[in-house]
């Protein structure tokens, strides 16, 4: 017996070691993990009696009424910490200073040189205020005012147009050094010029388009800018780098969204989408000062323009709104009474990053400081939806876990509804229900309940002659269309099949998403007939691409240039916004035709549902509500049209100065489109308002069709064979669900 | 075995000839069966991107062109490996995650599995056969079936999103118990009886006789377990949301088209540790067999 | 099964009877928590009748037995096993014999043959596409135009992939069994004048036969994993002939049809446990 006890003790020992080891190591395991993933940072320590208090809160500062709609033409932070804003007014330049509390009107400065539109103002290291602006030739001018108020032009040699160019140097950051030299940053690089206009040395920095470099500043003898995807400090007296810092936000490639500014003591502040960071002069670690995911810093339709540190320790951020192009001011003050980390957490799950959802998260957190919205994005931008990811989610859902709110794009929404995973959205939608397009709302309502609803829709449109449009929207006419140019441009059968299925959704698929042999036959034969005439192929060889001049649509985007080039008789597009429709509208006008929606079908996006077993029903409902509210629906985030009718209407009235152009490297084909006139905007918005059939092609069935029709479409098999293969597999797919 | 034949000197000539013919035969088989495809992979991992595209466009599903296999790259380049090792910090994190998870599982499996296997092989107790049958049935369950309820258990234990969510269920896999049981069972009775006569108790006998003599079985379970957990995909994917805890097996499927050369290099790099381990494991395996004295 | 007496502690003393379970305890405790409980939950789910709360019954079993997809998958799985298991066991046994007889124990070949088991699934997929895609090596080599990936021939690719990947693994098991045969047996047989073929059939095969059950069982276990590569290469709905139970399980899981999946798993367990039970009982006779 004695021995037995020893064995028992040993075994118990082994067990407890394993389990204890498990506990202690699991704690360190999670800790190690947190450092690497920004998304899960700052999770609340559960059960903490006294959560740490204090964080920066965001507050919008409205410009005084009289200047709110004026165009800003410069701003500068003065020695005393106040910011002077310069506005174009009818009586010349108006200046208002802001000290963190209020705006004060200041004296109007003397006018600059004749015929020059002022675009910026800055205080040089020599303490003099300098002004800059462009003339009608788009040549930059820099001047200061002498004691008599007379404008003195400087460095005009540097800025004038080089030979053979019709515009001059466009500075995106500019400063005057203590010795009077000029620091000039251009889109491709920077340099220091002595007063005779000669370049003393060049400074390497990353390419940045747009004429405004927010990620650069000069402080003392140091010029900080982004070079080789790192923040580099250059000694401005020698042009040599003297320090290097990592970009605080990982995975950021768009540095135009980052602003850098000095802390006045050699250190750096950096503002990114994820927040405001600080590091010391020789620091290696960025300390997060403000968590940007909790406020508008992460709002996708806002772009940070400039940040300032105020004398009272607060920060001021200047943003531009993507939809209105207005500049807005936000103030960040430290509030000791608010919990450092919001105590309530709402999790939102989505397969892919979605700007509308991010917008809603930013709005919700801003309006509810006690709530933190945690977005769980399962896949990176170029990752495919895999079964593994859905399986992992299902495992959570089956155990009544998982995120509180689910974005159902790409997920089996119907299955979830049937299995009771989703809660009724009724209470959440109560206040916004009347605003949602009835054509959309009706499709998701059954027995008075709604389990999921898209917050955005995209609209497939067709353009071309009446016959061509008919051919795209009916299989019988598609197979008999014999005009020149052919109906379809040289492209891949996969794309044509997908497109045709989307455009003809309701005549192709049965109620349950399956497809009859007869429909399948008409679909395949018509696509093949039209495809053969238009050199559509299953896959292209290098020579094909050369010979047929195939435009890589993956690069040029959704717009079909082949129709504009007369290579085919029809164009189809999936419109997401008014901006998106600009090319289509111009092309239609050129060809004297009109664009049309595809049998009133639309494609839902940002489909939202609430997890029925969520412990945060109230917060989840609030999130859903915000998603359909004005703040989110009004924003144009190029991921779809709003489903809120007043938000749609607002687009009819929106005027923008916005031009897009398209050209190809190896041809003289060029097209330019301006912001649509009101009549065209109305046309588009009316098309959207009339949409009523959702077209969600079951991806599994689509993949079966694409794989199964390859041999037929490349003339290796009869259509009967293809129908049989596809029919069997779809039969199997449907049988699984029985 | 060879040396035993050697002793019979008169037949040595023919035997040696036969041995070399067989070796040659073996060489051809392994060449046809394994080495050839492996060389293709190895060569591809040293190819720069444009060569990969010209040879394996359809393999990478980027277009359609006849596959032009090569055992040697035309323009060999170590860029893929450089890229993988120097510019993908994720790779190393995942590599160490894999090592930690796999070796923890294996250590646990041995610690828990050896006594269990010994119990099944060498003791009689009530319900033994029923329990053993249960162990076998659990072994055959597809992972999808166990996934949801396992999640429930791990969640209750607050283990989700820690290394232990993968390690603990792995430790209690019934697979090593089954493999080792067979080997423990084949230990000749004489040894155990001798130990018993010497006055050794159950535990001492297990440690002094069972473990050394069952060593080939233990090693086999270890190696097979290693291959299994080194390439495990489903459990980490489900139980670990935090990507910084992911093992290497999850790195590979995420290699995208614009990183085509990484796809091959990562595969070869992931192969490296199993090979090294196996080469070493083999030594232990042989030593284990000789020291146990089964053949005396 | 031959009869063989096994020394167990139980014969010697009643006290030792319990210590067997003590050895098993840690494992059993963990298995109970991490395996048995989940399995029990699966059985429970399979017995739940319909989606409505409460009520247990066998209706799900009736449903899946009449389900077309389930029948097809079962037949395919059985066919796949019937073809690939004998092939795998034979090939790996031959490998093991060759390695055992003609190389040193630290053999280069043994290592090489083990390699396929260690290659990550993602790389294997690249390899299969190289070999079997439309313009792949196999078609070029034999001037064929076969659709190995989506056509009915994909069945052979699946069998080949399974054998290729597992031959080394199974060889290791055979080898361990071969090393377990005592040299005296061969020696005395040779003294008696037995040829090498006779030694193979009268010593090696029966001796190794004891391990056959285990090796077969592990081959079956691994055959359930063969679908992983097929899934990546041929997609979720491959050619009808290689649509296996695992495909179906996977799809049920994705569609949250947990009841059906659980019921099918329980059926699978029952079916598999019959031969295992017979095997165990056979062994019991010997003790």
Tell me the pLDDT tens digit for each residue of C72-91: 999 999 999 999 999 999 99
Which of B144, B202, B242 lies at the smallest CB-CB distance from A40?
Answer: B242
Report the neighbours of C using a cutoff of 3 or more CB pairs below 8 angstroms. Answer: A, B
* A36-45, A289-298, A611-620, C198-207: range with highest mean pLDDT: A611-620
- Mark yes or no for CB contact B64/C134 under 8 Å: yes
Contact call for residues B109 and B176 (beta carbons, < 8 A) = yes
Q: Does C38 touch chain B (CB under 8 A)?
A: yes
Q: What is the pLDDT of residue C55?
A: 65
Give the lowest-confidence range in A34-48, A469-483, B214-228: A34-48
Which of A3, A376, A399 lies at the smallest CB-CB distance from B155?
Answer: A399
- Mark yes or no for CB contact A8/C235 under 8 Å: no
Q: What is the pLDDT of residue A330?
A: 92
Report pTM: 0.80
Whether residue A145 is predicted with pLDDT greater than 60 in this model: the reply is yes
Q: What angle do CA A143, A148, A149 make, to 5 degrees?
A: 45
- Mark yes or no for CB contact A415/C243 under 8 Å: no
CB atoms within 10 A of CB A394: 28
Q: Does C18 touch chain B (CB under 8 A)?
A: yes
Give the lowest-confidence range in A317-321, C118-122, C270-274: C118-122
Give the lowest-confidence range in A396-400, B292-296, C187-191: B292-296
Using CA atoms, how far apart are residues A111 and A122, in angstroms rounded to an integer?
15
| Mean pLDDT, rounded, of chain A | 83
Nearest-CA residue of chain A relative to C236? A700
pLDDT tens, position by position, C265-287: 999 888 888 887 777 666 544 33
- Please compute, for residue A494, the number of CA atoms within 13 A of its CA located in the half-sphere on the CB side: 10
- The C-alpha of A29 sits at a distance from chain B's nearest C-alpha, in angstroms, of 6
Q: What is the pLDDT of residue B292?
A: 41
Whether residue B281 is predicted with pLDDT greater than 70 in this model: the reply is no
- The C-alpha of A543 sits at a distance from chain B's nearest C-alpha, in angstroms, of 11
Give the lowest-confidence range in A47-61, A360-374, A424-438: A47-61
CB atoms within 10 A of CB A115: 11
Whether residue A485 is predicted with pLDDT greater than 70 in this model: the reply is yes
Which of A4, A394, A735 lies at the smallest CB-CB distance from C254?
Answer: A394
pLDDT tens, position by position, A400-412: 888 999 999 989 8
Nearest-CA residue of chain C relative to A392? C254
- The C-alpha of A732 sits at a distance from chain C's nearest C-alpha, in angstroms, of 6
Alpha helices, H only, A178-254: none
Report the neighbours of A using a cutoff of 3 or more CB pairs below 8 angstroms. Answer: B, C
CA dist list (Å): A217 to A185, A214, A234, A237, C46: 10, 8, 11, 15, 66
Q: Which residues of A touch B172 (CB under 8 A)?
A: none
pLDDT tens, position by position, A624-641: 999 999 889 988 777 899
Q: What is the pLDDT of residue A307?
A: 92
- The C-alpha of B5 sits at a distance from chain A's nearest C-alpha, in angstroms, of 46
- The mean per-residue pLDDT over the stretch B225-235 comes to 83
Using CA atoms, how far apart are residues A304 and A542, in angstroms rounded to an integer?
44
- Mark yes or no for CB contact B35/C249 under 8 Å: no
CB atoms within 10 A of CB A658: 14
- Mark yes or no for CB contact C253/A420 under 8 Å: no
* Burial annotation B103-128 (CB, 10 A radius, 16+ → b, else e): ebbbebbbbbbbbbbbbbbbbbbeeb
With CA atoms as reference, report the closest residue to A421 among A609, A623, A611, A620.
A611
Which of A382, A389, A539 lies at the smallest CB-CB distance from B256?
Answer: A382
C124 pLDDT tier (thresholds 50, 70, 90): confident
| Mean pLDDT, rounded, of chain C | 80
Q: What is the pLDDT of residue A527?
A: 92
With CA atoms as reference, report the closest residue to A637 among A624, A623, A627, A625.
A627
Mutation site, A401, A724, A738, interface C, largest C CB count within 10 A: A738
C22 CB contacts (<8 Å, ≥6 apart)? A4, A7, A8, A11, B119
Contact call for residues A378 and A395 (beta carbons, < 8 A) = no
Whether residue A29 is predicted with pLDDT greater than 70 in this model: the reply is no
Joined tokens for residue A730: 């779809």
Whether residue B6 is predicted with pLDDT greater than 50 in this model: the reply is no
- The mean per-residue pLDDT over the stretch C100-127 comes to 75
| Mean pLDDT, rounded, of chain B | 78
C11 pLDDT tier (thresholds 50, 70, 90): low
Report the neighbours of B using a cutoff of 3 or more CB pairs below 8 angstroms. Answer: A, C
Give the lowest-confidence range in A2-11, A355-364, A498-507, B133-142: A2-11
Whether residue A510 is predicted with pLDDT greater than 80 in this model: the reply is yes
Strands A405-407 and A287-291: unpaired
- The C-alpha of C35 sits at a distance from chain B's nearest C-alpha, in angstroms, of 7
Q: Which residues of A touch B162 (CB under 8 A)?
A: 25-26, 29-30
A705 pLDDT tier (thresholds 50, 70, 90): very high
- List residues in chain A touching B: CB distance below 8 A: 3, 6-7, 10-11, 14, 18, 22, 25-26, 29-30, 32-37, 40, 376, 380, 382-383, 386, 388-389, 391-392, 394-396, 398-399, 401, 538-542
What percent of chain A clears pLDDT 90, i.e. is strictly above it?
29
Q: What is the pLDDT of residue A47?
A: 45
CB atoms within 10 A of CB A258: 20
Q: What is the ipTM of this complex?
A: 0.82
CA dist list (Å): A172 to A68, A113, A187, A207: 25, 21, 7, 11
Whether residue A685 is predicted with pLDDT greater than 70 in this model: the reply is yes
pLDDT tens, position by position, C223-249: 888 887 788 778 888 888 889 998 999
Of the two residues A209 and A349, the one the predictor is more confident about is A349
Which of C98, C129, C280 lies at the smallest CB-CB distance from B132?
Answer: C280
Nearest-CA residue of chain C relative to A15? C26
pLDDT tens, position by position, C133-185: 888 888 888 888 888 888 888 899 899 889 988 888 888 888 877 877 777 88
Q: What is the pLDDT of residue C81?
A: 92
Whether residue A541 is predicted with pLDDT greater than 80 in this model: the reply is no
**How far, in whole angstroms, is CA A324 from its chain's centroid?**
16
């Amino acid at each position: 017996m004695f021995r037995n006890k020893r064995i028992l003790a040993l075994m118990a020992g082994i067990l407890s070691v394993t389990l204890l080891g498990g506990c202690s190591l699991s704690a360190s395991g999670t800790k190690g993990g947190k450092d690497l993933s920004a998304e899960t940072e700052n999770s609340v320590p559960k059960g903490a009696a006294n959560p740490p208090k204090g964080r920066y809160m965001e507050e919008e500062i409205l410009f005084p009424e009289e200047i709110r709609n004026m165009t800003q033409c410069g701003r500068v932070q003065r020695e005393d910490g106040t910011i002077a804003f310069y506005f174009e007014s009818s009586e010349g330049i108006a200046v208002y200073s802001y000290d963190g509390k209020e705006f004060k009107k200041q004296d109007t400065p003397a006018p600059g040189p004749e015929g020059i539109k002022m675009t910026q103002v800055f205080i040089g290291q020599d303490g003099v205020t300098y002004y800059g602006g462009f003339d009608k030739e788009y040549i930059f001018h820099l001047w200061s005012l002498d004691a008599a108020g007379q404008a003195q032009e400087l460095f005009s040699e540097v800025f004038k147009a080089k030979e053979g160019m019709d515009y001059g140097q466009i500075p995106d950051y500019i400063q005057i050094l203590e010795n009077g030299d000029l620091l000039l940053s251009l889109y491709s690089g920077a340099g220091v010029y002595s007063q005779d206009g000669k370049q003393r040395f060049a400074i390497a920095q990353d390419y940045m388009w747009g004429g405004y470099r927010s990620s650069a500043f000069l402080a003392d003898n140091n010029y900080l800018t982004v070079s080789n995807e790192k923040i580099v400090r250059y000694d401005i007296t020698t042009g040599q780098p003297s320090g290097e810092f990592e970009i605080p936000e990982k995975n950021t490639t768009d540095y135009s969204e980052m602003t850098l500014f000095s802390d006045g003591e050699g250190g750096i502040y950096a503002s990114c989408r994820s927040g405001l960071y600080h590091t010391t002069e020789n620091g290696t670690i960025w300390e997060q000062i403000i968590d940007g995911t909790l406020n508008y810093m992460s709002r996708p339709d806002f772009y940070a323009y400039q940040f300032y540190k105020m004398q009272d320790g607060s920060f001021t951020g200047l943003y531009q709104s993507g939809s209105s192009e207005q500049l807005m001011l936000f103030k960040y003050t430290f509030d000791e009474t608010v919990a450092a980390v919001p105590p309530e957490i709402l999790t939102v799950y989505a397969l892919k990053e979605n700007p509308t959802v991010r917008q809603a998260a930013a709005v919700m957190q801003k309006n509810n400081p006690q709530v933190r919205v945690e977005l769980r994005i399962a896949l990176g931008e170029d990752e495919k939806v895999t079964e593994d990811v859905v399986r992992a989610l299902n495992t959570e859902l089956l155990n009544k876990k998982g995120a509180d709110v689910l974005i159902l794009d790409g997920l089996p929404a119907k299955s979830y509804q049937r299995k009771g995973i989703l809660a009724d959205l009724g209470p959440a939608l109560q206040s916004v229900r009347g605003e949602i397009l009835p054509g959309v709302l009706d499709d998701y309502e059954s027995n008075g309940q709604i389990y999921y609803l898209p917050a955005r829709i995209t609209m497939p449109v067709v353009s071309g002659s009446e016959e061509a449009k008919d051919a795209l929207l009916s299989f019988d006419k598609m197979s008999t269309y014999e005009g020149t140019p052919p109906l379809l441009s040289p492209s891949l059968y996969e794309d044509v099949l997908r497109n045709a299925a989307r455009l003809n959704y309701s005549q192709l698929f049965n109620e349950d998403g399956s497809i009859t042999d007869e429909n399948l036959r008409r679909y395949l034969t018509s696509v093949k007939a039209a495809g053969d005439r238009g050199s559509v192929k299953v896959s292209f060889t290098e020579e094909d691409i050369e010979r047929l001049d195939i435009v890589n649509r993956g690069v040029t985007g959704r717009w079909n240039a082949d129709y504009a080039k007369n290579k085919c008789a029809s164009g189809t597009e999936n419109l997401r916004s008014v901006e998106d429709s600009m090319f289509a509208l111009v092309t239609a006008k050129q060809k004297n035709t009109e664009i049309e929606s595809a049998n009133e079908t639309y494609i839902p996006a940002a489909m939202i549902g609430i997890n029925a077993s969520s412990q945060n029903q109230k917060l989840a409902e609030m999130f859903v509500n915000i998603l359909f509210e004005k703040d989110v629906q009004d924003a144009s985030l190029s991921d779809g049209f709003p489903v809120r009718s007043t938000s749609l209407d607002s687009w009819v009235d929106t005027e923008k100065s916005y031009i897009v152009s398209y050209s190809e490297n190896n041809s003289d084909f060029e097209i330019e489109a301006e912001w649509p006139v009101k009549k065209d905007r109305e046309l588009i918005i009316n098309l959207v308002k009339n949409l009523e059939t959702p077209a969600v092609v079951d991806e599994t069935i689509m993949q079966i069709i694409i794989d199964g029709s390859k041999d037929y479409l490349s003339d290796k098999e009869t259509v009967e064979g293809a129908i049989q293969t596809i029919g069997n597999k779809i039969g199997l797919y449907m049988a699984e669900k029985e | 075995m060879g040396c035993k034949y050697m002793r019979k000197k008169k037949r040595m000539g023919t035997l040696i000839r036969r041995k070399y013919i067989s070796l040659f035969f073996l060489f051809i088989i392994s060449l046809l069966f394994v080495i050839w495809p492996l060389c293709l992979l190895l060569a591809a991992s040293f190819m720069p991107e444009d060569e990969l595209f010209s040879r394996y466009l359809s393999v990478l599903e980027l277009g359609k062109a006849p596959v032009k296999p090569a055992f040697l790259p035309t323009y060999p380049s170590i860029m893929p490996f450089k890229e993988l090792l120097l510019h993908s910090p994720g790779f190393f994190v995942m590599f160490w995650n894999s090592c930690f998870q796999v070796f923890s599982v294996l250590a646990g499996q041995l610690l828990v599995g050896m006594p269990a296997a010994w119990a099944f092989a060498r003791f009689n107790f009530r319900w033994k056969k029923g329990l053993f049958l249960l162990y076998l049935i659990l072994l055959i369950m597809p992972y999808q079936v166990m996934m949801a309820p396992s999640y429930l258990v791990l969640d209750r234990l607050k283990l989700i999103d820690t290394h232990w969510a993968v390690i603990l269920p792995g430790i209690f896999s019934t697979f090593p118990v089954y493999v080792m049981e067979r080997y423990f069972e084949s230990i000749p009775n004489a040894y155990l009886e001798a130990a018993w006569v010497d006055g050794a108790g159950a535990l001492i006998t297990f440690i002094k006789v069972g473990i050394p003599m069952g060593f080939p079985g233990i090693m086999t379970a270890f190696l097979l377990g290693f291959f299994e957990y080194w390439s495990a995909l489903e459990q980490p994917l489900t139980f670990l949301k935090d990507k910084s805890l992911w093992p290497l097996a999850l790195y590979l499927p995420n290699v995208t088209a614009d990183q085509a050369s990484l796809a091959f290099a990562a595969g070869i790099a992931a192969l490296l540790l199993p090979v090294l381990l196996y080469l070493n494991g083999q030594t232990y395996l042989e030593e284990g067999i000789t020291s146990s004295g089964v053949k005396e | 099964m031959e009869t063989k007496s096994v020394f167990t502690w139980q014969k010697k003393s009643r006290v030792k009877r319990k210590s067997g379970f003590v050895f098993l305890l840690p494992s059993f405790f963990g298995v109970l928590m991490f395996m048995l409980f989940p399995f029990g939950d699966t059985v429970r789910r399979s017995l739940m009748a319909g989606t409505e709360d409460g009520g247990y019954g066998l209706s799900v079993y009736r449903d899946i037995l009449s389900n077309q997809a389930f029948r097809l998958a079962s037949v395919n799985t059985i066919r796949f096993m019937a073809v690939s298991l004998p092939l795998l066991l034979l090939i790996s046994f031959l490998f093991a014999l060759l390695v055992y007889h003609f190389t040193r124990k630290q053999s280069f070949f043994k290592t090489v043959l083990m390699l396929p088991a260690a290659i990550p699934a993602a790389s294997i997929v690249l390899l299969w596409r190289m070999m079997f895609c439309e313009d792949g090596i196999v078609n070029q080599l034999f001037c064929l135009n076969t659709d190995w990936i989506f056509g009915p021939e994909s069945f052979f690719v699946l069998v080949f992939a399974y054998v290729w990947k597992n031959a080394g693994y199974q060889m290791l098991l055979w080898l361990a069994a071969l090393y377990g045969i005592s040299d005296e047996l061969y020696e005395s047989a040779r003294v008696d004048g037995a040829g090498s073929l006779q030694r193979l059939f009268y010593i090696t095969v029966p001796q190794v036969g004891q391990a056959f059950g285990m090796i077969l069982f592990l081959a079956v276990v691994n055959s359930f994993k063969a679908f992983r590569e097929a899934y990546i290469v041929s997609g979720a709905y491959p050619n009808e002939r290689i649509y296996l139970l695992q495909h179906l399980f996977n799809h049920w899981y994705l569609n949250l049809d947990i009841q059906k999946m659980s019921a099918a798993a329980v059926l699978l367990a029952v079916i598999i446990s019959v031969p295992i039970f017979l095997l165990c009982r056979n062994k019991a006779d010997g003790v």
